[in-house]
Amino acid sequence: MSIVINKAVRQGRYGIDGPGWMAALGGGVLAPLAAVSAGAPRWLLRIPPLVAVPAGLYLHATLRGKFLVWEEQLDALGLRGDEQVLDLGCGRGAVLTAVARRVPKGRVTGVDLWRSVDQSGNTESAAEDNARRERVSDQVELVTADMRSLPFLDDQFDVVVSSMAIHNIMSARGREEAVQEAYRVLRPGGRLLVADVFHAPRYVDILRAAGAVNATRTDAGPRMWWSGPWVRTQLVTAEKPAMDDDDGEAFADVRDGERRA
């Protein structure tokens, strides 16, 4: 049975994704205005309207759009409420806290290297503060780690999520390692959900090669356009095949023992 979530107004402070890109777009609006006021040619005034729409779309995506998309995606998972969940590249905890509200009897582990270039004000203390603001501190654990080499056991998590994080790894090999690690720590029957830009088709190929089933990608839509349709978010979903009945019973015994411990 899935649980019902009280969709109250967010209490956390989650910053801006890719603050450098947002600053560049904002500069494209303001710099020409300042230049003209200082005596530069008036044709520069043609630039701000062209940049204002992409800047507005970017701002909407980071301040509102991504939250709406993730609320819908997490609702669609139909969580029981006792799952063990891993959030890769959790940042200040936008998805982390949204998941935690849905697993009052479970636990959400957030992993990050806390780089402010990827998200403004991205620190472990900011994530902790947001967990307190959202009243989910008891369900949250934060771990400083590289998603390419996770400090977790195989088959440890019921659900693995990641929002706008894996694409920040510069090398193709590094991104492949991160996706493989996400699949490794997923329990049989577990589900993976990744929101990312640029490399989603490759993630699907990696997951299928690792043995995932129902590996697909879909477009998140205009709410997660990072300036326009040319920088759109895609959602990658996949499942790890469930064990057969005998193996499943043995796995359940081990899992129950872990929870009692």
Give per-residue pLDDT as tens, 29-62.
666 557 667 776 776 667 766 777 888 898 899 9
Q: Are strands 186-196 and 213-219 parallel, antiparallel or unpaired?
A: unpaired
CA 41 – CA 49 distance, rounded (Å): 16
pLDDT for the residue numbered 65: 96
The 10s digit of each residue's pLDDT in 132-153 is 999 999 999 999 999 999 999 9
For residues 52 and 37, is the Cβ–Cβ distance under 8 A? no
Per-residue b or e along 39-64, where b marks 16 or more CB atoms closer than 10 Å to that residue's CB: eeeeeeeebbeebeebbebbbbbbee
Tokens 């920040």 correspond to: 168
CA 192 – CA 35 distance, rounded (Å): 48
Residues in CB range of 75: below 8 A, 6 or more apart: 5
How does DSSP classify residue 152? S
Instruction: Tell me the residue type at 17.
Output: D
Nearest-5° Cα angle at 144, 182 to 203 = 25
What 3-state DSSP class applies to 50? helix
Is residue 256 scored above 70 in pLDDT?
Answer: no
Least confident of 4-13, 112-121, 124-133, 212-221: 4-13
What 3-state DSSP class applies to 161? strand
pLDDT for the residue numbered 172: 97
CA 89 – CA 259 distance, rounded (Å): 25
The 10s digit of each residue's pLDDT in 77-103 is 999 999 999 999 999 999 999 999 999
CA 90 – CA 123 distance, rounded (Å): 10
For residues 242 and 188, is the Cβ–Cβ distance under 8 A? yes
Residues in CB range of 175: below 8 A, 6 or more apart: 166, 167, 169, 199, 202, 203
This prediction has a pTM of 0.83
How does DSSP classify residue 159? E
The structural architecture, per CATH, of the domain 80-260 is 3-Layer(aba) Sandwich (3.40)
The torsion angles phi and psi of 254, rounded to 5 degrees, stand at: -65, -45
Token pair belonging to 8: 């109250």
Where along the chain do its domains lie?
80-260
For residues 169 and 136, is the Cβ–Cβ distance under 8 A? no
